[in-house]
Amino acid sequence: MKLSLQYQESFEDRHHGQTDSAQADMLQTVGVSSINELIEQTVPEAIRLARPLDLPAPKTEMQFLADFRKLASQNKVFKSYLGTGYYDTFTPNVILRNILENPAWYTAYTPYQAEIAQGRLEALLNFQTMVSDLTGMDLANASLLDEATAAAEAMHMLYAMRPATKKSASTFFVSKHCHPQTIDLIFTRATPIGIKVLVGDHRTVDLTNGDIFGLLLQYPASNGDVFDYTDLIASAHELGITVAVAADLLALTLLTSPGEMGADVVVGSAQRFGVPMGYGGPHAAFFATRDAFKRQIPGRIIGVSVDAEGKPAMRMALQTREQHIRREKATSNICTAQVLLAVMAGSYAVYHGPQRLRAIAERVHGLTKVAATALRWSGCEVTTENYFDTITVKVGDVESLKKSARAAQINLRYYADDEHVGISFDETKTLADVTELLDIFGTKADLDAIADELEITWPERLIRTSEYLTHPVFNTHHTEHDMLRYLKSLEEKDLSLVHSMISLGSCTMKLNATAEMIPVTWPEFGKIHPFAPKDQTLGYQQLFSDLNAWLCEITGFAAMSLQPNSGAQGEYAGLMVIRAYHESRGDSHRNIALIPQSAHGTNPASAVMAGMKVVIVKCDERGNIDVADLRAKADQHSNDLACLMVTYPSTHGVFEESIKEICAIIHEHGGQVYMDGANMNAQVGLTSPATIGADVCHLNLHKTFCIPHGGGGPGMGPIGVAEQLVPFLPGHFTVNSQQPTVPAGNRNSQQLTAGQLPAAYGAVSAAPYGSASILTISYAYIAMMGGEGLTNATKQAILNANYIKARLEGHYETLYTGTNGRAAHEMIIDCRPFKQAAGIEVEDIAKRLMDYGFHAPTVSFPVAGTVMIEPTESESKAELDRFCEAMIAIRNEIREVETGEADRVSNVLKHAPHTATVALADDWNRPYSREKAVYPLPYVRARKFWPSVSRIDSAYGDRNLVCSCIPTDAYAEEVAEA
Ligand SMILES: Cc1ncc(COP(=O)(O)O)c(C=O)c1O
């Protein structure tokens, strides 16, 4: 027998779920002879790409990782003293391996189905408790995208909540001591909604200026100063002015909390709690506030409620505040946040506990103090008086200092005045590092002698005396075994892609391959500060340039911006591009955004945040945009038309035939077309946003391009734009700088009002390339799939959806299809008829799927009472079949209620999900068997997933809001009394 050396492992074969023979069976079920025939019936001819994608040939996993190592090695990891909100940190290895590198955590989705998400809900509750304890506030949310956007959210909230006496006030005062990226972002976000920004010195601000409604302060300040804001906040409150403070969590273990100083909102980043810098992200920002603002708080909040057995259970609280409900009335568009990173930061606090956290902070402060003292002794002028971890030093010859620092591979913060240098310490630094630093300053000192005399010398009022992290969870799991087992116990409560398919429509829960994930934790990507000089980040620059080129090829656009950190933030960025474009043409009056009825809630919310007015366009009975209505509205608003926002294929899971005509109508009226790219998984290689006629779109890299959802973030939402919009892409103050020169509020006292946007309108994220370190994942995916592989993925995703549709025919109605009766990559199943026939709601079906080991598809979006199923290309036929069997079995269970065979109130659906505790209880009095409850189909026995709580009562939790950890037994007593 001859031997062949031809075999090469193909990544594409591993990414796709189907073998050739499985695919052949599926095509037969769908009723086509080839996958291309199906695509012809599904994707309108007028929009099909004329040529295959021109991308580099696919690499094997081994080739890719070897080549990528070389690219990574072009990044130079210098020791960072840059501070400015980003610090080097030790990720505890137990957290690194068991959370960050663990697919059970990173492949989970946002905890919409709380009964199978109690693990991450608890981890998020820990995060919220940690934040509210340390900041001294009543409650905190479960993360935002970054500190700068969290500060902008605070501004929005305080603006929306102005008291009666301040209703016409529109100036937001920002301390010049805030981080420069925060000041920049505040300008971006304030301008379109008519807020004026005044940057200045908080020590001299004239609060009697009646136009000021709010303040933003930094604590400790960006240059290191620790100011006592107590009196300023009290004076502001007397005048009806509210105050937000951007604070550092580690500093708060030693410093009086902003809450104790009277702050209304505290925001910040939890990055230094064990999350690598990653050249900008991802990290979890936080937002904490007073109880009075709990209904206005942006983002998601986790709260404690009770389940059907009266036991405590967690779920997302106060959902009616969110953009998906409030749409154009929403005050925030935040959807995907930073769950995985919040889980890590909260776990860092669990692992260390209050004593160790304080010890870490003392060490960081102590080292800073040693450095400051030694520098002063040697005659340097340290201009920071009270500081925690950052000092500013006045330097005679900055150029020669820069040279020495470079030679020692050290990054310092060089101020734009060429006179001052900033030095920020973190938990990874030691006394030896201080010696090295002194060396660069050309001096030496007896550091041990200085260290012996160390003590905190802040004014009394700044010394923290209040307790924090007193809950048992922060005082129990301090050994590695305990922590490992705690994390495992949480992990086991959550259903993720490691268990079964998660067919959430519009979310694209595809494979997040291990080879794609491996580079994320390489230090060459993780240990780089976002403001590190460009010549230290050549690997990253190469990655950006390749990825930009590939995404341009895929979208058909002229340029990309990799800055936005989520889909919704991409929407905002894209709309701001459109806004700046119109302004550049003297069309600043163009402010109408046409948005179809079926759009995701973030679309109208983003439009309003970009200063636009939303006009809704109807959909017809097939779920398509009603072209006549669109034409009428475009005619009516012709003069003021800014844009159309359209999702393609539609959120109804259909490739609309009229998309080209729709885009043409908008262009005829001088508008631009914004395409929501959430459904790109149905486009790649077959059509493209540019081909359908769009001018700008965002790509959810956490959907189509394999960044895992992390339980609700991180994500990345880069935008692509057509030629005419390229000059208006987001900017960032660091982008053209070769040196880490970080300006200190370089827009001092500059005031912009609505209608005065600069050409490129500024930043949308704190970091210039958003969450740069996870761009490696999408890069890996494209590099290993190649153009043909990506196109095959799209075809397979469409086949998988149509296969499910075919298998469910006769059991469920598919709500919308294209002209040839085909679904795109997802479909909506109508569950509304069951309510009348059997009293069964769509929620009952979602919960019953848990008993079968599945996460529910998307419930009630975009149509109430339906589920939207998106299988993706990565699921095997066997898995699709198991899911279909579960859905068909559930349909039969509904039929049993319809026919009277099962009780209308007490049945398997109404009682779902069934926990082990319920199923094994001595007193089983249900009118169906335990077997039927928990092992409804044979395959379930082999892979049973046990929900850890019974059906959760959300309304109870909203009425009795509890958003931080409380002792379980105390809670149980409360429930009993209620
Ligand atoms: C159609 C659509 N648009 C926008 C978004 C918002 O994207 P993100 O959650 O990344 O902000 C989603 C999120 O699921 C979506 O499905």
How many A from CA of 720 to the centre of ligand 1? 16
Q: How confident is the model over 8-29, as a mean pLDDT?
A: 95
Residue 678 CA, distance from chain mean position: 14
Closest CA to 17 of 800, 856, 889, 836: 800
Domains in the chain: boundaries = 354-462, 793-915
How many A from CA of 86 to the centre of ligand 1? 28
Cis bond upstream, residue 743 (ω within 30): no
**223 in ligand 1 pocket by Cβ < 6 Å?**
no
Q: Which atom of ligand 1 is nearest to the CA of 566?
A: 10
How many A from CA of 365 to the centre of ligand 1? 41
- Token digits of residue 691: 């081909």
Residue length, the chain?
A: 978
Full strand arrangement of the beta sheet holding 813-814 = 813-814, 827-830, 866-869, 858-859
How many A from CA of 700 to the centre of ligand 1? 8
- pLDDT at residue 743, rounded to an integer: 41
Report which DSSP code applies to 327: G
**113 in ligand 1 pocket by Cβ < 6 Å?**
no
Q: pLDDT tens digits, residue range 549-598?
A: 999 999 999 999 999 999 999 999 999 999 999 999 999 999 999 999 98
R_g of the chain computed on alpha carbons: 28
Q: Which residue has the tokens 């946002």?
A: 110
How many A from CA of 699 to the centre of ligand 1? 10
For 337, phi then psi, to 5°, come to: -120, -130
Q: How confident is the model over 823-850, as a mean pLDDT?
A: 97
**964 in ligand 1 pocket by Cβ < 6 Å?**
no
pLDDT band at 973 (very low <50, low <70, confident <90, very high): low
How many A from CA of 273 to the centre of ligand 1? 28
Q: pLDDT tens digits, residue range 751-797?
A: 333 333 344 568 999 999 999 999 999 999 999 999 999 999 999 99
- pLDDT at residue 496, rounded to an integer: 98
Mutate to test the pocket of ligand 1, among 602, 702, 859 (most ligand atoms within 8 A of CB): 602
How many A from CA of 420 to the centre of ligand 1? 43
List the residue whose alpha carbon is closest to atom 10 of ligand 1: 567
**337 in ligand 1 pocket by Cβ < 6 Å?**
no
Q: How confident is the model over 444-452, as a mean pLDDT?
A: 91
Dihedral class, residue 23 (left if φ above 0, else alpha if ψ from -120 to 50, else beta): alpha
Q: What is the CATH number of domain 354-462?
A: 3.90.1150.10
Please state, in angstroms and rounded to a whole number, the distance separating the CA atoms of residues 674 and 573.
11
Answer whether residue 457 shows pLDDT above 70.
yes
Q: Which residues pair with 676 in a beta bridge?
A: 647, 698
How many A from CA of 797 to the centre of ligand 1? 19
Answer whether residue 745 shows pLDDT above 50.
no
How many A from CA of 335 to the centre of ligand 1? 7
Closest CA to 746 of 755, 738, 737, 756: 737
**688 in ligand 1 pocket by Cβ < 6 Å?**
no
Do the beta carbons of residue 615 and residue 646 sit within 8 Å?
A: no
List the residue whose alpha carbon is closest to atom 9 of ligand 1: 336
pLDDT band at 862 (very low <50, low <70, confident <90, very high): very high
Q: How confident is the model over 64-86, as a mean pLDDT?
A: 98
How many A from CA of 299 to the centre of ligand 1? 14
Please state, in angstroms and rounded to a whole number, the distance separating the CA atoms of residues 908 and 661.
48
pLDDT band at 416 (very low <50, low <70, confident <90, very high): confident
Q: In one letter, which amino acid is 587?
A: D
For 82, phi then psi, to 5°, come to: -75, -30
Q: In one letter, which amino acid is 710?
A: G
pLDDT band at 968 (very low <50, low <70, confident <90, very high): low
The 8 Å CB, 24+ separation contacts for 733-739 are 733/180, 733/181, 733/184, 733/763, 734/530, 734/531, 734/768, 735/768, 737/533, 737/534, 738/533, 738/534, 738/535, 739/402, 739/414, 739/533
How many A from CA of 568 to the centre of ligand 1? 6
**771 in ligand 1 pocket by Cβ < 6 Å?**
no
- pLDDT at residue 328, rounded to an integer: 85
Do the beta carbons of residue 829 and residue 815 sit within 8 Å?
A: yes
Report which DSSP code applies to 680: G
Q: Which atom of ligand 1 is nearest to the CA of 651?
A: 1
Q: CB-based contacts of 925: which residues, under 8 Å, 6+ apart?
A: none
Q: pLDDT tens digits, residue range 83-118?
A: 999 999 999 999 999 999 999 999 999 999 999 999
pLDDT band at 732 (very low <50, low <70, confident <90, very high): confident
Please state, in angstroms and rounded to a whole number, the distance separating the CA atoms of residues 808 and 845.
15
Spell out where 220-350 has E strands.
242-247, 265-269, 285-289, 301-307, 312-317
How many A from CA of 677 to the centre of ligand 1? 9
CA atoms within 13 A on the CB side of 447: 20
Do the beta carbons of residue 533 and residue 411 sit within 8 Å?
A: yes
Q: CB-based contacts of 286: which residues, under 8 Å, 6+ apart?
A: 127, 131, 135, 140, 141, 143, 144, 150, 249, 266, 267, 268, 269, 270, 342
Q: How confident is the model over 33-40, as a mean pLDDT?
A: 98
- pLDDT at residue 633, rounded to an integer: 98
Q: CB-based contacts of 292: which residues, under 8 Å, 6+ apart?
A: none
Please state, in angstroms and rounded to a whole number, the distance separating the CA atoms of residues 871 and 878.
12
Q: Which helix H or strand E contains 645, and what residues bound it?
A: strand 641-647
Q: Which atom of ligand 1 is nearest to the CA of 507?
A: 14
**317 in ligand 1 pocket by Cβ < 6 Å?**
no
DSSP letter string over 5-70?
------HHHHHS---HHHHHHHHHHHT-SSHHHHHHHHS-GGGS-SS----PPP--HHHHHHHHHH
3-state secondary structure 196-224: EEEEECCCCCCCCCCCEEEEEEEECCCCC
Residue 651 CA, distance from chain mean position: 21
Burial (CB count within 10 angstroms: exposed 0-12, middle 13-18, buried 19+), residue 875: buried
Cis bond upstream, residue 282 (ω within 30): yes
How many A from CA of 566 to the centre of ligand 1? 8
Q: How confident is the model over 184-198, as a mean pLDDT?
A: 94
Burial (CB count within 10 angstroms: exposed 0-12, middle 13-18, buried 19+), residue 261: buried
**602 in ligand 1 pocket by Cβ < 6 Å?**
yes
- pLDDT at residue 319, rounded to an integer: 83
Mutate to test the pocket of ligand 1, among 697, 700, 868 (most ligand atoms within 8 A of CB): 700
Burial (CB count within 10 angstroms: exposed 0-12, middle 13-18, buried 19+), residue 865: middle
- Going from the C-alpha of 595 to that of each of 566, 591, 614, 642, the distances in angstroms are 20, 13, 7, 11
Please state, in angstroms and rounded to a whole number, the distance separating the CA atoms of residues 211 and 170.
6
Please state, in angstroms and rounded to a whole number, the distance separating the CA atoms of residues 65 and 11.
12
**697 in ligand 1 pocket by Cβ < 6 Å?**
no
**336 in ligand 1 pocket by Cβ < 6 Å?**
yes
Say if 354-462 and 793-915 have the same CATH topology. yes
List the residue whose alpha carbon is closest to atom 16 of ligand 1: 506
Q: CB-based contacts of 493: which residues, under 8 Å, 6+ apart?
A: 116, 117, 118, 119, 122, 948
How many A from CA of 809 to the centre of ligand 1? 29
Query: Domain 793-915: which topology?
Result: Aspartate Aminotransferase, domain 1 (3.90.1150)
Please state, in angstroms and rounded to a whole number, the distance separating the CA atoms of residues 356 and 662.
60
How many A from CA of 531 to the centre of ligand 1? 29
- Going from the C-alpha of 953 to that of each of 202, 368, 687, 933, 957, the distances in angstroms are 46, 50, 44, 20, 7
Parallel, antiparallel, or unpaired for β 641-647 and 613-617?
Answer: unpaired
List the residue whose alpha carbon is closest to atom 7 of ligand 1: 567
Answer whether residue 315 shows pLDDT above 80.
yes
Residue 194 CA, distance from chain mean position: 27
How many A from CA of 229 to the centre of ligand 1? 39
Q: Which residue has the tokens 């933003």?
A: 216
Burial (CB count within 10 angstroms: exposed 0-12, middle 13-18, buried 19+), residue 159: buried
**676 in ligand 1 pocket by Cβ < 6 Å?**
yes
**678 in ligand 1 pocket by Cβ < 6 Å?**
yes
- Token digits of residue 223: 């240059």
Answer whether residue 227 shows pLDDT above 50.
yes
- Token digits of residue 837: 């026939």
CA 437, 443, 446, 449 dihedral sign is negative
Burial (CB count within 10 angstroms: exposed 0-12, middle 13-18, buried 19+), residue 448: exposed
Q: Which atom of ligand 1 is nearest to the CA of 700?
A: 10
- pLDDT at residue 970, rounded to an integer: 52
How many A from CA of 602 to the centre of ligand 1? 7
Largest CA-CA distance found in the chain, in angstroms, rounded: 92
Cis bond upstream, residue 649 (ω within 30): yes
Q: pLDDT tens digits, residue range 604-661?
A: 999 999 999 999 999 988 888 999 999 999 999 999 999 999 999 999 999 999 999 9
Q: Which residues pair with 144 in a beta bridge?
A: 285
Residue 888 CA, distance from chain mean position: 35
Q: Which atom of ligand 1 is nearest to the CA of 702?
A: 10
Q: pLDDT tens digits, residue range 647-678?
A: 999 999 999 999 999 999 999 999 999 999 99
- Going from the C-alpha of 365 to that of each of 186, 190, 370, the distances in angstroms are 30, 35, 9
Please state, in angstroms and rounded to a whole number, the distance separating the CA atoms of residues 576 and 612.
10
Mutate to test the pocket of ligand 1, among 336, 719, 826 (most ligand atoms within 8 A of CB): 336
**567 in ligand 1 pocket by Cβ < 6 Å?**
yes
**700 in ligand 1 pocket by Cβ < 6 Å?**
yes
Please state, in angstroms and rounded to a whole number, the distance separating the CA atoms of residues 503 and 869.
5
Q: Which atom of ligand 1 is nearest to the CA of 569?
A: 11
- Token digits of residue 287: 């937002």
Do the beta carbons of residue 695 and residue 316 sit within 8 Å?
A: no
**717 in ligand 1 pocket by Cβ < 6 Å?**
yes
* Residue-averaged pLDDT of the chain: 94
Q: How confident is the model over 366-393, as a mean pLDDT?
A: 96
**763 in ligand 1 pocket by Cβ < 6 Å?**
no
Answer whether residue 750 shows pLDDT above 50.
no
Burial (CB count within 10 angstroms: exposed 0-12, middle 13-18, buried 19+), residue 5: exposed
Helix (H, G, I), strand (E, B) or coil at 163: coil
Q: CB-based contacts of 680: which residues, under 8 Å, 6+ apart?
A: 699, 700, 703, 704
Q: Which atom of ligand 1 is nearest to the CA of 679?
A: 1
**651 in ligand 1 pocket by Cβ < 6 Å?**
yes
**650 in ligand 1 pocket by Cβ < 6 Å?**
no
